[in-house]
Each structure stands twice: as structure tokens, then as C-alpha cells.
Structure 1
Amino acid sequence: MRHDDIWRAVDALAAEHGLSPSGLARKAGLDPTAFNPSKRAGTDGRARWPSTESIAKILAATGTDMESFASLVSGAPALNSAGRIPPGRRIPLIGLAQAGSDGFFDDGGYPVGGGWDEISTPEFADPNAYALEISGESMEPVFRDGDLVIVSPNSPVRRGDRVVARTNRGEVMAKELIRQSARRIELASLNPAHPNYSFDLSEVTWMHRIVWASQ
């Protein structure tokens, strides 16, 4: 378990309840800045864990049990007390293989066109969120054939996040962000049998954060 996994779970829990991380902190009676990026590392740059008290408070405030929070840490969806995915809105869905075709995204990477299906999902704060169905084994063991991932174009992307990126050549891939500089983006393959990638920033049309997975 890594620091990034815990913070990602906090962010995902907030998104599933239609909140920003600061909104989740406020809902739990915490300082609204408790989950800010500046609080996730010490003055020496070393990663920090959220306190057990703050985790307990956000679970109580959202009616989430520890088992469901643990599923978020591993990348799976949170469940409500009845063991069901919380109800939400309908969002666009296409297959990952289709996503590289023209006509599904605008220049900013937002879903457009009439070729999308729709699915019901937990409520997310991002009105432009969309879903992709994983195909093949290139993302195993994290994402398997048939898994759905929900992608948030408006969520900030940080090192260690799982992302969907599209290149100028129309390639769409689900990877983990290793590093992003002013000139290059480095992406790690989720399946160790597949290579990592490094792109000039100009080669990547957009890169969006994966905030939820059905596994």
C-alpha cells in the first residue's frame, strides 16, 4: 500500500459523493484544507499519510464502511451499506478500442458525438466524466477485459495516478503517470509484460485521470 493509493481513495470517495476533496473534509467537520495537495507531503517533500482520525470522520460522514474504503484503495468501486454501487447519473460509454477513432472526443478531450452508449454510475462532480470498457490483457492485473473505468477530464492529474492518454496518432492507452515535465510525459504500463512509454508533451493530445473502476 502506497501513500498515493490512500490519497486516491480519499479523492474517489469525494467524487462518488459529488464532492471535491475540500468539500469532503468540510462535510466531515475537518479543516477544508485537510486534503489539499500541500498537506500530502511534509516540508521535506516526503509523502504523508492522512490521519486515522480524518479517515474515520470521512467514512462516518459518507456512511462508508472500512471494507468499501479498502476497495477504493485497491482501485475498485465503493459500495454502500447494502452492497450496491450508489445510484447516480448516466454518463457516456465506449470501448477503449473505439476511443482512438475520430468523432468521439473534441479537441479538449471531452466526449462528443452520437456514437456513445450510456451507463448509470455513482455521482461524480465532473460533468464531463465518461466511461471506457477495457478490452484485452494489456492492463492486467489492474484492469481486466470487460472492466469499466470512469475517467474525469477535469480532475487534476498527479504522479502515480492511473490515467487515460491519447496521442496525436490516435492511440488511446490506460497507463500510470510516472513523471510529467515541461517537455515530456512518462507513462508506465500496468501489465509488466508491456513496455513503458515516453512522449514529448506535444505528442499527447490529452491525458485524463481514472477516478473509478468496476472490478
Structure 2
Amino acid sequence: MAEQQLDPAALAKVLGVEAAVVRAWLEGDGTKLPLHHIVKLQETYGYSPKWLANGKGDSKLSGQIEPELDEPSLAFDIVEIPPNSFRRIPVVGMAQLGDNGHFSDIEYPVGHGDGFLTFPTNDPDAYGLRCNGDSMRPRIKHNEFVVIEPNRAITNGDEVLVKSQDGRVMVKELAYVRDGVVHLSSVNERHGMLRVPQDQIERLHYVGGIVKASAWRPD
């Protein structure tokens, strides 16, 4: 920010978030910069995505080929996923990617649902949702699926499934929690910050992965 002469409001405008989100990053609570924001800073200012993600290497691109960014855990290391880690994940409903979400609970026996996805996860309670809307585009596209891992811990910057007591179910990015209010942002800058009182949230689960529509299979 100092090199580019940016204050929190200016950086927030570049990344399409509210200034409060940037100020939360600067408080030093251990929150990592989300991947899509790393890509934006790389494209805008030429910073190395590897350096932005974990502080390693030169801060600016050197002209050499940088590792292609994908999922955060795979961004800079080749990770072999054991074949026995893949599981059939039941698809149990739909989540809205905009601010006004809905969730179609489908009553199926445990381990079954409206078709399934094959995905590597250690969470025995993992489930899938079909996504509808564009607020997380290009990160999550309309009609793609997310795999939810309800037993995994959540930190600021994570993509999360949020179900409020009024029935809304949304996939958002957890910006921060302050004074009993959960602040949620969207990748798509056309959608602003959403604030939900913490005591009105029924479910706040970690989004473990994004799965293409072509990966869905019927039961």
C-alpha cells in the first residue's frame, strides 16, 4: 500500500470491497489475503502472487513464469491427493449467491441426496449445494456446486455457507465478525457488504471446494 500510495479506501476500491474489510486485514489478526484478491493485485500492480500469499520470494514479478493460481492449498506446491480420500458427497439443496438466499432442504437418508459429487474430504458430514446467482462470479459460477465441510474451523477470508433464521442461505466470503455482527462480502463488486447479527445465524459452515456442474452425477 505504501509503494502504491494507497490508503484503505483506495485499496478497497481496487479490490471491490468496503474499506472496513481492508482495515480488518491491517489489524494483524492472522487473516490471509483471499486468492481472488491476490490475482487482482497481480494484474493491477505486478506483484508476485507467491509473495502476496506467503511472503516468499521477490515481491515483484521477475518475468519468469509464475505458478498458476488455483485453490489456496494447491497454489504453490504440487500436492498428491490419495485416491482413498475421495468420497461421494450428497447434494442436498440449493444456495443463492446473491443477498437474498434460499435453501431447498431435501429429506434423504444420511449419505444420500439429489445426486452426488465425488470430492476429497475428511469431513464425514460433508454435503453439496447447487449454486444459483452471480455475486461470487468469477470465483463461483451460476449452476456450479460447492462442497460444505461443517466440521472445519472458519477464519476471516474464508468462503462460507450462511443460513440465517429467516430462511436465507447464501454463499459469501466471511470478512470479519465485530460487536456481534457478521460481515459478509461478495467477490463480485456489484454486490455490497451484507451484515447479519450473529444471533440470527443458524448455520455458518466452511466451503471446502467448488465443483463444476459437469461433475454432478445422479444417484
- Bin the TM-score by the shorter chain: 0.5 to 0.7
Corresponding pairs, count: 150
Query: Could you say what secondary structure the match of 2:71 adopts?
Result: helix
Matches within 5 A, 1:1-215: 3-5=32-34, 49=54, 70-73=69-72, 88-93=86-91, 94-96=93-95, 100-102=103-105, 116-181=113-178, 183-215=180-212
* 1:33-78 deviation line (CA, Å, top 9, x unaligned): xxxxxxxxxxxxxx982768xxxxxxxxxxxxx65xx3213999x9
Return the alpha-carbon distance in structure 2 between the equivalents of residues 205 and 164 of structure 1.
11
* 1:160-181 deviation line (CA, Å, top 9, x unaligned): 1111100000000111111113
Return the alpha-carbon distance in structure 2 between the equivalents of residues 135 and 126 of structure 1.
24
Q: Given the two structures, how large is their TM-score scaled by the length of structure 1? A: 0.56
Task: Rate the CA distance shift 1:87–1:102 in 2: closer, same or farther, 3 A.
Answer: closer
Q: CA deviation at 1:140?
A: 1.4
Which amino acid is 2:54 matched to? Answer: W
Bigger Cα Rg:
2
Return the alpha-carbon distance in structure 1 between the equivalents of residues 115 and 55 of structure 2.
35
- The answer to whether the 8 A contact 2:125-2:150 is kept is yes
Which amino acid is 1:186 matched to? Answer: H
Query: Could you say what secondary structure the match of 1:71 adopts?
Result: coil
Q: CA deviation at 1:126?
A: 0.6
Which amino acid is 2:147 matched to? Answer: I
Q: CA deviation at 1:159?
A: 0.4
Q: CA deviation at 1:183?
A: 1.3
- Unaligned 5+ residue runs, structure 2? 1-30, 36-51, 58-66, 213-219
Q: CA deviation at 1:113?
A: 7.1
Q: CA deviation at 1:92?
A: 1.3
Q: Given the two structures, how large is their TM-score scaled by the length of structure 2? A: 0.55
Task: Rate the CA distance shift 1:80–1:179 in 2: closer, same or farther, 3 A.
Answer: closer
- The answer to whether the 8 A contact 1:166-1:207 is kept is yes
Question: Identity over aligned residues, as a percent?
Answer: 26
- Over aligned residue pairs, what C-alpha RMSD do you find? 3.9
Return the alpha-carbon distance in structure 2 between the equivalents of residues 128 and 190 of structure 1.
27
- The answer to whether the 8 A contact 2:32-2:157 is kept is no
Which amino acid is 2:176 matched to? Answer: R
Matched residue, 1:40: none
- Unaligned 5+ residue runs, structure 1? 7-46, 53-65, 105-110
Moved over 6 A (4+): 78-81, 111-115
